[in-house]
């Protein structure tokens, strides 16, 4: 304990601590003002030249003269420029960067990527779109024409098997589900539902809503009416709504006592048992 007290009273301890603190402050100052600026080229900058729309070879010379490097990170096909021309750069031209900075380039492909057009006629619009995209193409304009099969592709602007540039849009003509011709409504009243549905589709129409109605006038699951019913024909692809019979709920008959269906079959003895006895006047 006495040794610790004598150490605390020694002035050399405080001189040593002050010396360490001064050295630490000096080190931080040198790192901040001398070492780091020298390492990061502080207060030094290079203006990036605009190297788009020139060849990669010319861009390389310009960047080298400016003390910069480059790397090609992507190649795209653009018919407006010759092969190996710079389409884009990052950082952009006129940006201030540090010396020896790497500039990333997007270059026009020397060979234009191609794709083969698939056949999408008779496919649904959704499936046709998936096929075009999977082949590297794009869905172009979609026009509609009258036909009985809704959303079915009727025609494509580029014949199947044609080789085109990747990304080329393909225009489609798609059915709106309605035909130009009127078709006669088939005779479906009294038919079973499955038969009626088949006849409706065979006629070029579509089955719409189906309503089930309890009735005793027809066997269950038979067509009893349809709508629209104000005409005997519809345009191809139109819907026909059906009303179909279902089993009516059994109702308990009201009890009415004995019912004689044929009195000739009942003898007099039975009739006497059913006859209400007359009142005797003496009982009153």
Residue 168 has pLDDT above 70, yes or no: yes
- Match 């027809």 to its residue by tokens: 218
pLDDT of residue 87: 93
Same domain, 101 and 61: yes
Same domain, 70 and 119: no
- Domain containing residue 235: CATH number: 3.30.10.20
pLDDT of residue 147: 75
237 band by pLDDT with thresholds 50, 70 and 90: confident
159 within a domain of the structure (yes/no): yes
Rounded to the nearest integer, the mean pLDDT of the chain is 82
pLDDT of residue 258: 43
Same domain, 56 and 85: yes
pLDDT by residue (tens digit) across 30-45?
777 777 666 655 556 8
251 band by pLDDT with thresholds 50, 70 and 90: very low
Domain around 25: 14-43
pLDDT by residue (tens digit) across 187-205?
999 999 999 999 998 888 8
236 band by pLDDT with thresholds 50, 70 and 90: confident
264 band by pLDDT with thresholds 50, 70 and 90: very low
14's tokens: 């405080």
257 within a domain of the structure (yes/no): no
The fraction of the chain above a pLDDT of 90, given in percent, is 46
pTM listed for this prediction: 0.39
Looking at mean pLDDT, say which of 136-150, 154-168, 246-260 comes out highest: 154-168
Q: End of a domain among 108, 134, 160?
A: 108
Same domain, 34 and 53: no
Residue 274 has pLDDT above 70, yes or no: no
Same domain, 147 and 204: no
What contacts 85, CB < 8 A, 6 or more positions away?
53, 54, 55, 56, 107, 108
67 within a domain of the structure (yes/no): yes
Residue 127 has pLDDT above 70, yes or no: yes
The fraction of the chain above a pLDDT of 70, given in percent, is 79
152 within a domain of the structure (yes/no): yes
284 within a domain of the structure (yes/no): no
pLDDT of residue 278: 52
Residue 1 has pLDDT above 90, yes or no: no
pLDDT of residue 55: 93
Same domain, 164 and 212: no
User: How many other CB atoms sit within 10 Å of the CB of residue 195?
Assistant: 14
Q: End of a domain among 92, 108, 124?
A: 108
Higher local confidence (pLDDT), 122 or 32: 122
77 band by pLDDT with thresholds 50, 70 and 90: confident
269 within a domain of the structure (yes/no): no
239 within a domain of the structure (yes/no): yes
Structural domain tally of the chain?
A: 4
Same domain, 72 and 103: yes
151 band by pLDDT with thresholds 50, 70 and 90: confident
Average pLDDT over residues 123-149: 90
Same domain, 51 and 38: no
100 within a domain of the structure (yes/no): yes
243's tokens: 């009303």
149 band by pLDDT with thresholds 50, 70 and 90: confident
């Amino acid at each position: 304990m006495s040794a610790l007290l004598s150490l605390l009273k020694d002035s050399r301890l405080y001189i040593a601590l002050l010396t360490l603190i001064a050295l630490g402050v000096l080190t931080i100052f040198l790192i901040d003002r001398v070492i780091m600026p020298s390492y990061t080229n502080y207060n030094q900058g290079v203006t990036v030249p605009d190297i788009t729309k020139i060849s990669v070879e010319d861009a390389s010379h310009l960047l080298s003269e400016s003390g910069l490097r480059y790397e090609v990170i992507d190649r795209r096909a653009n018919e407006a420029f010759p092969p190996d021309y710079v389409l884009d750069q990052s950082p952009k031209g006129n940006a201030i960067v540090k010396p020896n900075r790497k500039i990333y380039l997007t270059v026009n492909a020397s060979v234009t990527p191609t794709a083969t057009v698939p056949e999408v006629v008779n496919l649904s619009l959704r499936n046709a779109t998936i096929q075009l995209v999977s082949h590297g193409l794009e869905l172009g304009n979609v026009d509609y024409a009258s036909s009985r099969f809704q959303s079915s592709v009727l025609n494509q602007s580029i014949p199947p098997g044609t080789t085109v540039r990747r990304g080329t849009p393909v225009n489609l003509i798609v059915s709106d589900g309605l035909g130009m011709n009127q078709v006669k409504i088939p005779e479906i009243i009294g038919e079973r539902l499955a038969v009626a549905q088949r006849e409706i589709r065979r006629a070029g129409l579509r089955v719409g809503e189906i309503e089930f109605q309890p009735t005793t006038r027809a066997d269950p699951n038979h067509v009893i009416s349809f709508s629209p019913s104000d005409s005997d024909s519809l345009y191809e692809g139109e819907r026909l709504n059906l009303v179909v019979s279902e089993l009516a709920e059994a109702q308990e008959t009201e009890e009415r006592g004995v019912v004689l269906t044929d009195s000739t079959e009942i003898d007099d003895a039975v009739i006497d048992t059913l006859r209400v006895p007359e009142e005797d006047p003496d009982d009153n």
